Chain A
Protein backbone atom coordinates (compact mmCIF):
# COMPACT_ATOMS: atom_id res chain seq x y z
CA UNK A 1 0.00 0.00 0.00
CA UNK A 2 1.52 3.24 -1.11
CA UNK A 3 1.15 6.09 1.29
CA UNK A 4 -0.36 9.19 -0.21
CA UNK A 5 -2.40 11.38 2.08
CA UNK A 6 -3.86 13.39 -0.80
CA UNK A 7 -5.60 10.32 -2.17
CA UNK A 8 -7.17 9.32 1.14
CA UNK A 9 -10.72 10.49 1.51
CA UNK A 10 -12.32 11.27 4.86
CA UNK A 11 -13.82 7.79 5.04
CA UNK A 12 -10.40 6.20 4.60
CA UNK A 13 -8.91 8.48 7.22
CA UNK A 14 -10.99 6.82 9.89
CA UNK A 15 -9.32 3.57 9.00
CA UNK A 16 -5.70 4.66 8.99
CA UNK A 17 -3.47 4.34 11.99
CA UNK A 18 -4.21 2.28 15.06
CA UNK A 19 -7.03 2.70 17.52
CA UNK A 20 -6.15 3.41 21.11
CA UNK A 21 -6.87 -0.07 22.46
CA UNK A 22 -4.73 -1.66 19.73
CA UNK A 23 -1.84 0.68 20.56
CA UNK A 24 -2.03 0.03 24.31
CA UNK A 25 -2.35 -3.75 23.86
CA UNK A 26 0.46 -3.77 21.29
CA UNK A 27 3.01 -2.19 23.60
CA UNK A 28 2.08 -4.17 26.71
CA UNK A 29 2.27 -7.38 24.67
CA UNK A 30 5.52 -6.25 23.02
CA UNK A 31 7.27 -5.55 26.34
CA UNK A 32 5.92 -8.66 28.06
CA UNK A 33 6.78 -10.92 25.09
CA UNK A 34 10.35 -9.60 25.03
CA UNK A 35 10.62 -10.13 28.80
CA UNK A 36 9.24 -13.65 28.39
CA UNK A 37 11.72 -14.38 25.59
CA UNK A 38 14.73 -13.24 27.62
CA UNK A 39 13.68 -14.89 30.90
CA UNK A 40 12.60 -18.02 29.00
CA UNK A 41 16.03 -18.23 27.39
CA UNK A 42 17.66 -17.97 30.83
CA UNK A 43 15.36 -20.75 32.11
CA UNK A 44 16.24 -22.90 29.07
CA UNK A 45 19.95 -22.40 29.80
CA UNK A 46 19.50 -24.22 33.12
CA UNK A 47 18.52 -27.37 31.22
CA UNK A 48 19.16 -26.96 27.49
CA UNK A 49 17.74 -30.37 26.52
CA UNK A 50 14.30 -30.96 24.99
CA UNK A 51 12.26 -34.15 25.05
CA UNK A 52 8.94 -35.70 24.08
CA UNK A 53 6.50 -37.33 26.51
CA UNK A 54 6.13 -37.12 30.30
CA UNK A 55 9.73 -37.76 31.21
CA UNK A 56 13.01 -36.16 30.24
CA UNK A 57 16.22 -35.68 32.16
CA UNK A 58 19.99 -36.09 31.76
CA UNK A 59 19.65 -39.84 32.22
CA UNK A 60 17.12 -40.25 29.39
CA UNK A 61 17.59 -39.56 25.66
CA UNK A 62 16.84 -36.04 24.40
CA UNK A 63 15.13 -35.00 21.17
CA UNK A 64 17.86 -32.41 20.80
CA UNK A 65 20.26 -30.38 22.90
CA UNK A 66 21.04 -26.71 22.56
CA UNK A 67 24.66 -25.58 22.97
CA UNK A 68 23.75 -22.60 25.15
CA UNK A 69 25.66 -21.99 28.36
CA UNK A 70 27.94 -24.25 30.33
CA UNK A 71 25.25 -26.81 31.24
CA UNK A 72 25.34 -28.16 27.67
CA UNK A 73 26.44 -31.82 27.95
CA UNK A 74 28.17 -31.12 31.27
CA UNK A 75 28.53 -34.81 32.08
CA UNK A 76 29.05 -34.27 35.82
CA UNK A 77 27.52 -37.47 37.23
CA UNK A 78 28.44 -40.14 39.72
CA UNK A 79 28.07 -43.69 38.38
CA UNK A 80 24.40 -44.53 38.02
CA UNK A 81 22.63 -47.01 40.29
CA UNK A 82 19.86 -49.29 38.94
CA UNK A 83 16.57 -49.51 40.88
CA UNK A 84 15.54 -52.91 39.52
CA UNK A 85 17.23 -56.16 38.54
CA UNK A 86 16.44 -56.12 34.82
CA UNK A 87 18.91 -54.92 32.22
CA UNK A 88 16.83 -51.87 31.17
CA UNK A 89 16.16 -50.76 34.73
CA UNK A 90 15.52 -47.14 35.59
CA UNK A 91 18.61 -45.72 37.25
CA UNK A 92 19.50 -42.89 39.60
CA UNK A 93 22.66 -40.81 39.47
CA UNK A 94 23.97 -38.04 41.70
CA UNK A 95 24.92 -34.80 39.97
CA UNK A 96 28.43 -33.71 40.83
CA UNK A 97 28.49 -30.62 38.60
CA UNK A 98 27.55 -27.14 39.81
CA UNK A 99 25.14 -26.11 37.05
CA UNK A 100 24.38 -22.57 35.97
CA UNK A 101 20.92 -21.86 37.37
CA UNK A 102 19.41 -18.37 37.38
CA UNK A 103 15.85 -19.68 37.62
CA UNK A 104 15.11 -17.99 40.96
CA UNK A 105 14.57 -14.59 39.32
CA UNK A 106 14.12 -15.86 35.76
CA UNK A 107 11.10 -18.01 36.60
CA UNK A 108 9.40 -15.35 38.72
CA UNK A 109 10.06 -12.70 36.05
CA UNK A 110 8.74 -15.11 33.38
CA UNK A 111 5.46 -15.62 35.24
CA UNK A 112 5.11 -11.93 36.09
CA UNK A 113 5.46 -11.03 32.41
CA UNK A 114 3.11 -13.91 31.56
CA UNK A 115 0.40 -12.32 33.72
CA UNK A 116 0.65 -9.10 31.70
CA UNK A 117 0.68 -11.00 28.41
CA UNK A 118 -2.24 -13.29 29.24
CA UNK A 119 -4.49 -10.51 30.53
CA UNK A 120 -3.64 -8.21 27.60
CA UNK A 121 -3.97 -11.01 25.04
CA UNK A 122 -7.44 -11.83 26.37
CA UNK A 123 -8.45 -8.15 26.16
CA UNK A 124 -6.90 -7.86 22.69
CA UNK A 125 -8.48 -11.01 21.24
CA UNK A 126 -11.94 -10.29 22.66
CA UNK A 127 -11.81 -6.63 21.54
CA UNK A 128 -10.48 -7.73 18.16
CA UNK A 129 -13.41 -10.06 17.64
CA UNK A 130 -16.08 -7.70 19.05
CA UNK A 131 -14.95 -4.61 17.12
CA UNK A 132 -14.47 -6.56 13.90
CA UNK A 133 -10.79 -5.53 13.80
CA UNK A 134 -9.71 -9.18 13.61
CA UNK A 135 -12.21 -10.08 10.88
CA UNK A 136 -11.59 -6.92 8.81
CA UNK A 137 -7.84 -6.53 9.13
CA UNK A 138 -6.18 -9.70 10.44
CA UNK A 139 -7.97 -12.77 9.07
CA UNK A 140 -6.86 -13.47 5.49
CA UNK A 141 -9.79 -13.74 3.06
CA UNK A 142 -10.42 -17.17 1.53
CA UNK A 143 -10.00 -15.70 -1.96
CA UNK A 144 -6.58 -14.32 -0.94
CA UNK A 145 -5.21 -17.75 -0.09
CA UNK A 146 -3.79 -18.48 -3.55
CA UNK A 147 -0.16 -19.45 -4.23
CA UNK A 148 0.03 -16.78 -6.96
CA UNK A 149 -0.96 -14.01 -4.53
CA UNK A 150 1.47 -15.26 -1.88
CA UNK A 151 4.22 -15.28 -4.51
CA UNK A 152 3.37 -11.77 -5.65
CA UNK A 153 3.40 -10.45 -2.08
CA UNK A 154 6.68 -12.22 -1.33
CA UNK A 155 8.34 -10.79 -4.46
CA UNK A 156 6.98 -7.39 -3.50
CA UNK A 157 8.71 -7.67 -0.11
CA UNK A 158 12.05 -8.50 -1.75
CA UNK A 159 12.06 -5.49 -4.09
CA UNK A 160 14.25 -2.77 -2.57
CA UNK A 161 13.85 -0.06 -1.55
CA UNK A 162 10.47 -0.81 -0.01
CA UNK A 163 7.54 1.49 -0.43
CA UNK A 164 6.80 3.51 2.70
CA UNK A 165 3.37 2.52 4.02
CA UNK A 166 0.63 3.99 6.12
CA UNK A 167 1.00 3.24 9.79
CA UNK A 168 -1.71 0.65 10.21
CA UNK A 169 -4.23 -1.32 8.17
CA UNK A 170 -5.05 -2.36 5.52
CA UNK A 171 -2.41 -5.06 5.61
CA UNK A 172 -0.86 -7.14 2.84
CA UNK A 173 -1.43 -10.88 2.53
CA UNK A 174 1.78 -12.07 4.22
CA UNK A 175 1.35 -9.40 6.87
CA UNK A 176 -2.17 -10.66 7.65
CA UNK A 177 -0.95 -14.25 7.82
CA UNK A 178 1.89 -13.26 10.17
CA UNK A 179 -0.35 -11.24 12.51
CA UNK A 180 -3.11 -13.84 12.44
CA UNK A 181 -0.62 -16.63 13.10
CA UNK A 182 0.97 -14.81 16.02
CA UNK A 183 -2.25 -13.61 17.66
CA UNK A 184 -4.43 -16.68 17.14
CA UNK A 185 -1.92 -19.55 16.95
CA UNK A 186 1.58 -18.93 18.37
CA UNK A 187 0.62 -16.82 21.42
CA UNK A 188 -2.26 -19.08 22.58
CA UNK A 189 -0.07 -22.15 21.98
CA UNK A 190 2.75 -20.64 24.07
CA UNK A 191 0.30 -19.73 26.84
CA UNK A 192 -1.46 -23.10 26.98
CA UNK A 193 1.71 -25.21 26.74
CA UNK A 194 3.14 -23.01 29.51
CA UNK A 195 0.10 -23.72 31.70
CA UNK A 196 0.38 -27.44 30.90
CA UNK A 197 3.86 -27.50 32.48
CA UNK A 198 2.48 -26.32 35.83
CA UNK A 199 2.02 -29.30 38.17
CA UNK A 200 -0.94 -27.65 39.94
CA UNK A 201 -2.75 -26.61 36.75
CA UNK A 202 -2.11 -29.93 34.97
CA UNK A 203 -3.54 -31.73 38.02
CA UNK A 204 -6.63 -29.49 38.02
CA UNK A 205 -7.20 -29.65 34.25
CA UNK A 206 -5.92 -32.98 32.85
CA UNK A 207 -7.45 -32.01 29.48
CA UNK A 208 -4.41 -29.75 28.96
CA UNK A 209 -2.20 -32.85 28.90
CA UNK A 210 -4.53 -34.51 26.41
CA UNK A 211 -4.47 -31.56 24.04
CA UNK A 212 -0.96 -30.15 24.46
CA UNK A 213 0.92 -33.27 25.49
CA UNK A 214 2.69 -34.32 28.64
CA UNK A 215 5.12 -32.03 30.51
CA UNK A 216 8.12 -32.49 28.21
CA UNK A 217 6.08 -32.44 24.97
CA UNK A 218 4.45 -29.22 26.16
CA UNK A 219 7.89 -27.81 27.00
CA UNK A 220 9.17 -28.65 23.51
CA UNK A 221 6.09 -27.10 21.81
CA UNK A 222 6.51 -24.10 24.14
CA UNK A 223 10.10 -23.76 22.89
CA UNK A 224 9.05 -23.83 19.22
CA UNK A 225 6.26 -21.30 19.87
CA UNK A 226 8.93 -19.07 21.44
CA UNK A 227 11.19 -19.60 18.40
CA UNK A 228 8.35 -18.63 16.02
CA UNK A 229 7.60 -15.52 18.08
CA UNK A 230 11.24 -14.46 18.08
CA UNK A 231 11.46 -14.89 14.28
CA UNK A 232 8.24 -12.89 13.97
CA UNK A 233 9.58 -10.07 16.17
CA UNK A 234 12.83 -9.88 14.18
CA UNK A 235 11.04 -9.75 10.80
CA UNK A 236 8.37 -7.39 12.17
CA UNK A 237 10.93 -4.90 13.50
CA UNK A 238 12.96 -5.21 10.29
CA UNK A 239 9.88 -4.41 8.20
CA UNK A 240 9.05 -1.44 10.42
CA UNK A 241 12.55 -0.05 9.82
CA UNK A 242 12.36 -0.66 6.07
CA UNK A 243 8.98 1.01 5.62
CA UNK A 244 9.63 4.19 7.59
CA UNK A 245 10.46 3.66 11.25
CA UNK A 246 9.47 7.13 12.49
CA UNK A 247 6.00 7.11 10.97
CA UNK A 248 5.29 3.47 11.90
CA UNK A 249 6.48 3.96 15.48
CA UNK A 250 4.43 7.15 15.81
CA UNK A 251 1.34 5.45 14.39
CA UNK A 252 1.60 2.58 16.88
CA UNK A 253 2.36 4.87 19.81
CA UNK A 254 0.28 8.04 19.30
CA UNK A 255 -1.96 7.05 16.39
CA UNK A 256 -2.04 8.93 13.09
CA UNK A 257 -2.55 12.63 13.68
CA UNK A 258 -1.01 14.35 10.72
CA UNK A 259 -3.82 14.24 8.20
Chain B
Protein backbone atom coordinates (compact mmCIF):
# COMPACT_ATOMS: atom_id res chain seq x y z
CA UNK B 1 0.00 0.00 0.00
CA UNK B 2 3.00 2.25 0.29
CA UNK B 3 2.95 4.36 -2.84
CA UNK B 4 6.23 5.71 -4.06
CA UNK B 5 6.05 9.44 -4.64
CA UNK B 6 6.60 10.24 -8.28
CA UNK B 7 8.28 13.53 -7.54
CA UNK B 8 10.64 13.03 -4.62
CA UNK B 9 11.80 16.41 -3.62
CA UNK B 10 10.97 20.04 -4.04
CA UNK B 11 14.19 20.46 -6.00
CA UNK B 12 13.18 17.82 -8.54
CA UNK B 13 9.84 19.56 -8.89
CA UNK B 14 11.42 22.97 -9.47
CA UNK B 15 13.95 21.55 -11.94
CA UNK B 16 11.10 19.88 -13.77
CA UNK B 17 9.11 23.11 -13.89
CA UNK B 18 12.12 25.01 -15.19
CA UNK B 19 12.80 22.52 -17.98
CA UNK B 20 9.11 22.41 -18.90
CA UNK B 21 9.23 26.20 -19.08
CA UNK B 22 12.29 25.96 -21.32
CA UNK B 23 10.48 23.59 -23.67
CA UNK B 24 7.52 25.92 -23.73
CA UNK B 25 9.73 28.90 -24.60
CA UNK B 26 11.51 26.99 -27.35
CA UNK B 27 8.10 26.10 -28.77
CA UNK B 28 6.87 29.66 -28.48
CA UNK B 29 9.34 31.11 -30.95
CA UNK B 30 7.95 29.02 -33.79
CA UNK B 31 4.39 28.01 -33.18
CA UNK B 32 2.77 31.09 -31.64
CA UNK B 33 2.20 34.64 -32.84
CA UNK B 34 5.02 36.91 -31.59
CA UNK B 35 4.23 39.46 -28.88
CA UNK B 36 7.04 41.90 -29.76
CA UNK B 37 7.13 42.51 -26.00
CA UNK B 38 3.76 44.28 -26.31
CA UNK B 39 1.44 43.58 -23.38
CA UNK B 40 -1.66 43.66 -25.63
CA UNK B 41 -0.17 40.99 -27.88
CA UNK B 42 0.62 38.91 -24.76
CA UNK B 43 -3.08 39.08 -23.87
CA UNK B 44 -3.99 38.02 -27.42
CA UNK B 45 -1.65 35.01 -27.20
CA UNK B 46 -3.12 34.08 -23.81
CA UNK B 47 -6.63 34.19 -25.29
CA UNK B 48 -5.52 32.13 -28.31
CA UNK B 49 -3.84 29.48 -26.16
CA UNK B 50 -6.76 29.37 -23.72
CA UNK B 51 -9.18 28.81 -26.60
CA UNK B 52 -7.03 26.05 -28.03
CA UNK B 53 -6.61 24.46 -24.60
CA UNK B 54 -10.13 24.80 -23.22
CA UNK B 55 -12.53 24.78 -26.16
CA UNK B 56 -13.51 21.45 -27.69
CA UNK B 57 -12.01 21.20 -31.19
CA UNK B 58 -14.26 21.08 -34.24
CA UNK B 59 -17.31 22.68 -32.69
CA UNK B 60 -19.53 23.84 -35.51
CA UNK B 61 -20.72 27.42 -35.75
CA UNK B 62 -24.50 27.69 -35.82
CA UNK B 63 -26.06 27.34 -39.26
CA UNK B 64 -29.23 29.27 -40.04
CA UNK B 65 -32.20 28.81 -42.35
CA UNK B 66 -32.65 30.45 -45.74
CA UNK B 67 -35.31 32.81 -44.37
CA UNK B 68 -32.81 34.14 -41.82
CA UNK B 69 -30.44 35.49 -44.50
CA UNK B 70 -30.02 39.20 -43.81
CA UNK B 71 -28.70 42.31 -45.42
CA UNK B 72 -24.92 42.54 -45.21
CA UNK B 73 -22.34 45.30 -45.49
CA UNK B 74 -19.34 45.22 -47.77
CA UNK B 75 -16.43 46.94 -46.04
CA UNK B 76 -12.64 46.99 -46.14
CA UNK B 77 -11.44 46.47 -49.69
CA UNK B 78 -14.53 46.33 -51.91
CA UNK B 79 -12.67 46.57 -55.23
CA UNK B 80 -8.98 45.54 -55.40
CA UNK B 81 -8.61 47.44 -58.72
CA UNK B 82 -9.61 50.76 -57.13
CA UNK B 83 -6.43 52.78 -56.40
CA UNK B 84 -8.26 54.87 -53.78
CA UNK B 85 -8.80 51.93 -51.40
CA UNK B 86 -6.35 51.74 -48.47
CA UNK B 87 -4.96 48.24 -49.13
CA UNK B 88 -4.56 48.84 -52.90
CA UNK B 89 -1.62 47.12 -54.60
CA UNK B 90 -0.85 48.50 -58.07
CA UNK B 91 0.48 45.29 -59.65
CA UNK B 92 -2.15 43.00 -58.16
CA UNK B 93 -4.85 45.60 -58.77
CA UNK B 94 -4.07 45.68 -62.49
CA UNK B 95 -4.02 41.88 -62.63
CA UNK B 96 -7.35 41.75 -60.81
CA UNK B 97 -8.87 44.23 -63.24
CA UNK B 98 -7.75 42.09 -66.20
CA UNK B 99 -9.02 38.84 -64.63
CA UNK B 100 -12.37 40.41 -63.75
CA UNK B 101 -12.94 41.64 -67.29
CA UNK B 102 -12.47 38.04 -68.43
CA UNK B 103 -15.06 36.79 -65.95
CA UNK B 104 -12.26 35.28 -63.82
CA UNK B 105 -11.84 32.44 -66.34
CA UNK B 106 -8.05 33.03 -66.25
CA UNK B 107 -7.93 33.34 -62.45
CA UNK B 108 -5.99 30.61 -60.68
CA UNK B 109 -5.52 29.96 -56.99
CA UNK B 110 -1.98 28.91 -56.22
CA UNK B 111 -1.33 26.44 -53.38
CA UNK B 112 2.29 26.57 -52.25
CA UNK B 113 4.61 25.93 -49.36
CA UNK B 114 4.60 22.74 -47.32
CA UNK B 115 2.57 20.63 -49.72
CA UNK B 116 3.69 17.59 -51.71
CA UNK B 117 2.01 18.77 -54.92
CA UNK B 118 2.13 22.56 -55.22
CA UNK B 119 -0.02 23.83 -58.04
CA UNK B 120 -2.83 26.11 -59.02
CA UNK B 121 -6.56 25.69 -59.34
CA UNK B 122 -8.96 27.48 -61.65
CA UNK B 123 -12.48 28.40 -60.55
CA UNK B 124 -13.74 25.40 -62.55
CA UNK B 125 -11.21 23.14 -60.77
CA UNK B 126 -12.47 24.31 -57.37
CA UNK B 127 -16.09 23.79 -58.43
CA UNK B 128 -15.30 20.19 -59.40
CA UNK B 129 -14.57 19.34 -55.74
CA UNK B 130 -17.58 18.37 -53.58
CA UNK B 131 -19.19 21.64 -52.53
CA UNK B 132 -20.43 22.72 -49.11
CA UNK B 133 -23.19 25.28 -48.64
CA UNK B 134 -23.64 26.89 -45.24
CA UNK B 135 -25.82 29.71 -43.95
CA UNK B 136 -23.75 31.34 -41.22
CA UNK B 137 -23.35 34.52 -39.27
CA UNK B 138 -20.60 36.96 -40.18
CA UNK B 139 -19.52 38.79 -37.02
CA UNK B 140 -17.47 41.94 -37.56
CA UNK B 141 -14.99 43.27 -35.01
CA UNK B 142 -16.77 46.62 -35.37
CA UNK B 143 -19.81 45.17 -33.62
CA UNK B 144 -22.27 44.34 -36.39
CA UNK B 145 -23.32 40.95 -37.71
CA UNK B 146 -25.13 39.55 -40.75
CA UNK B 147 -26.29 36.15 -42.00
CA UNK B 148 -25.50 34.93 -45.51
CA UNK B 149 -25.33 31.69 -47.46
CA UNK B 150 -21.89 30.67 -48.65
CA UNK B 151 -21.04 27.94 -51.15
CA UNK B 152 -17.56 26.62 -51.72
CA UNK B 153 -15.08 23.82 -51.28
CA UNK B 154 -13.81 22.93 -47.80
CA UNK B 155 -10.24 24.21 -47.45
CA UNK B 156 -9.38 20.79 -46.05
CA UNK B 157 -10.32 19.13 -49.36
CA UNK B 158 -7.99 21.42 -51.31
CA UNK B 159 -5.15 21.05 -48.79
CA UNK B 160 -5.46 17.27 -48.97
CA UNK B 161 -5.55 17.36 -52.78
CA UNK B 162 -2.32 19.36 -52.69
CA UNK B 163 -0.78 16.84 -50.30
CA UNK B 164 -0.34 18.96 -47.17
CA UNK B 165 2.72 17.72 -45.26
CA UNK B 166 2.28 16.36 -41.70
CA UNK B 167 4.57 19.06 -40.28
CA UNK B 168 2.32 21.87 -41.55
CA UNK B 169 0.90 24.08 -38.78
CA UNK B 170 -0.36 27.26 -40.45
CA UNK B 171 -2.14 28.34 -43.62
CA UNK B 172 -1.50 31.85 -44.95
CA UNK B 173 -3.70 33.63 -47.46
CA UNK B 174 -2.40 36.20 -49.94
CA UNK B 175 -5.17 38.25 -51.55
CA UNK B 176 -5.15 40.76 -54.43
CA UNK B 177 -5.15 43.63 -51.93
CA UNK B 178 -2.29 44.27 -49.51
CA UNK B 179 -3.84 42.53 -46.50
CA UNK B 180 -2.55 38.96 -46.17
CA UNK B 181 -3.45 36.93 -43.11
CA UNK B 182 -3.30 33.39 -41.79
CA UNK B 183 -4.97 30.80 -39.58
CA UNK B 184 -3.73 27.76 -37.71
CA UNK B 185 -4.28 24.20 -38.88
CA UNK B 186 -7.14 23.61 -36.43
CA UNK B 187 -9.21 26.33 -38.10
CA UNK B 188 -7.89 25.46 -41.58
CA UNK B 189 -9.14 21.86 -41.27
CA UNK B 190 -12.43 22.92 -39.63
CA UNK B 191 -15.34 21.47 -41.65
CA UNK B 192 -16.95 24.92 -42.04
CA UNK B 193 -13.75 26.62 -43.25
CA UNK B 194 -14.43 26.83 -46.97
CA UNK B 195 -13.07 28.56 -50.07
CA UNK B 196 -16.33 30.23 -51.05
CA UNK B 197 -17.17 31.07 -54.66
CA UNK B 198 -20.93 31.47 -54.15
CA UNK B 199 -22.97 33.80 -51.96
CA UNK B 200 -26.75 33.67 -51.47
CA UNK B 201 -27.12 31.42 -54.53
CA UNK B 202 -25.11 33.67 -56.88
CA UNK B 203 -21.48 33.97 -57.87
CA UNK B 204 -19.54 35.77 -55.13
CA UNK B 205 -19.98 39.52 -55.84
CA UNK B 206 -16.85 41.65 -56.28
CA UNK B 207 -17.62 43.67 -53.14
CA UNK B 208 -17.65 40.42 -51.11
CA UNK B 209 -14.42 38.98 -52.47
CA UNK B 210 -14.85 37.62 -56.01
CA UNK B 211 -13.90 35.20 -57.33
CA UNK B 212 -13.02 33.28 -54.14
CA UNK B 213 -12.82 34.20 -50.46
CA UNK B 214 -12.18 32.06 -47.42
CA UNK B 215 -14.87 31.67 -44.74
CA UNK B 216 -13.54 31.07 -41.22
CA UNK B 217 -16.75 30.71 -39.22
CA UNK B 218 -15.14 30.34 -35.78
CA UNK B 219 -13.39 33.69 -36.00
CA UNK B 220 -14.37 37.30 -36.65
CA UNK B 221 -15.04 38.58 -40.14
CA UNK B 222 -11.59 40.01 -40.77
CA UNK B 223 -10.11 36.50 -40.86
CA UNK B 224 -12.39 35.56 -43.79
CA UNK B 225 -10.11 37.05 -46.45
CA UNK B 226 -11.54 38.15 -49.76
CA UNK B 227 -9.97 38.15 -53.27
CA UNK B 228 -7.70 35.13 -52.79
CA UNK B 229 -4.70 34.78 -55.04
CA UNK B 230 -2.28 32.48 -53.23
CA UNK B 231 -2.43 30.04 -50.30
CA UNK B 232 0.85 29.17 -48.58
CA UNK B 233 1.05 26.25 -46.16
CA UNK B 234 3.73 26.72 -43.48
CA UNK B 235 5.36 24.79 -40.65
CA UNK B 236 6.06 27.89 -38.59
CA UNK B 237 4.23 31.03 -37.68
CA UNK B 238 4.67 33.92 -40.11
CA UNK B 239 3.55 37.43 -39.10
CA UNK B 240 3.49 38.36 -42.83
CA UNK B 241 5.59 41.44 -42.21
CA UNK B 242 4.36 45.01 -42.46
CA UNK B 243 1.22 43.97 -44.32
CA UNK B 244 0.12 41.42 -41.72
CA UNK B 245 -2.45 42.21 -39.03
CA UNK B 246 0.03 41.77 -36.19
CA UNK B 247 2.44 44.53 -37.19
CA UNK B 248 -0.58 46.78 -37.75
CA UNK B 249 -1.63 46.39 -34.13
CA UNK B 250 -4.42 43.84 -34.57
CA UNK B 251 -4.76 40.51 -32.84
CA UNK B 252 -3.79 37.63 -35.13
CA UNK B 253 -6.29 35.32 -33.46
CA UNK B 254 -9.85 36.63 -33.69
CA UNK B 255 -11.95 33.85 -32.17
CA UNK B 256 -13.24 36.34 -29.62
Q: State the CA gap A201–B50 with chains docked (Å).
A: 11
CB-CB under 8 A from B217, the residues of chain A are: 199, 203
Q: Give a binary string over B218-233; 1 marks a CB under 8 Å from any A CB, 0 the rest.
A: 1110000000000000
Complex CA–CA separation, A60 to B145 (angstroms): 10
Q: A47-B143, A83-B69, A115-B46 are in contact. Are A203 and B61 (CB under 8 A)?
A: yes
- Give Cα A55–Cα B145 distance, bound, in whole angstroms: 5
Interface residues on A, range: 35 or more
- Chain B: residues with Cβ within 8 Å of the partner, total of 53
B191: shortest Cβ distance to chain A, in Å? 11
B70 to A90, Cβ gap below 8 A?
Answer: yes
Do residues A58 and B144 form an inter-chain contact, with CB atoms below 8 A?
yes
Chain B hits for A83, CB < 8 A = 69, 199-202
Across the interface, A215 reaches (CB within 8 A) one of B73, B78, B137, B207, namely: B137
Q: How far is the CB of B45 from chain A (nearest CB, A)?
A: 10
Which residues of B in the span 212-254 have a Cβ within 8 Å of any Cβ on A? 217-220, 248-251
B143 partner residues in chain A, CB cutoff 8 A = 43-44, 46-47, 49, 219
Which residues of chain B come closer than 8 Å to A202, judged between CB atoms?
Answer: 61-62
Give B contacts to A, CB under 8 Å.
39-44, 46-47, 51, 55-56, 59-62, 64, 68-75, 78, 137, 139-148, 199-202, 205, 207-208, 217-220, 248-251, 255-256
Among all A-B residue pairs, the 8 with the closest Cβ atoms: A200-B255, A112-B43, A47-B143, A59-B71, A57-B144, A108-B40, A198-B256, A104-B249
Chain A interfacial positions (CB closer than 8 Å to B):
43-44, 46-47, 49, 54-60, 80-81, 83-84, 90-95, 99, 101, 103-105, 107-109, 111-112, 115, 197-206, 209, 215-216, 219
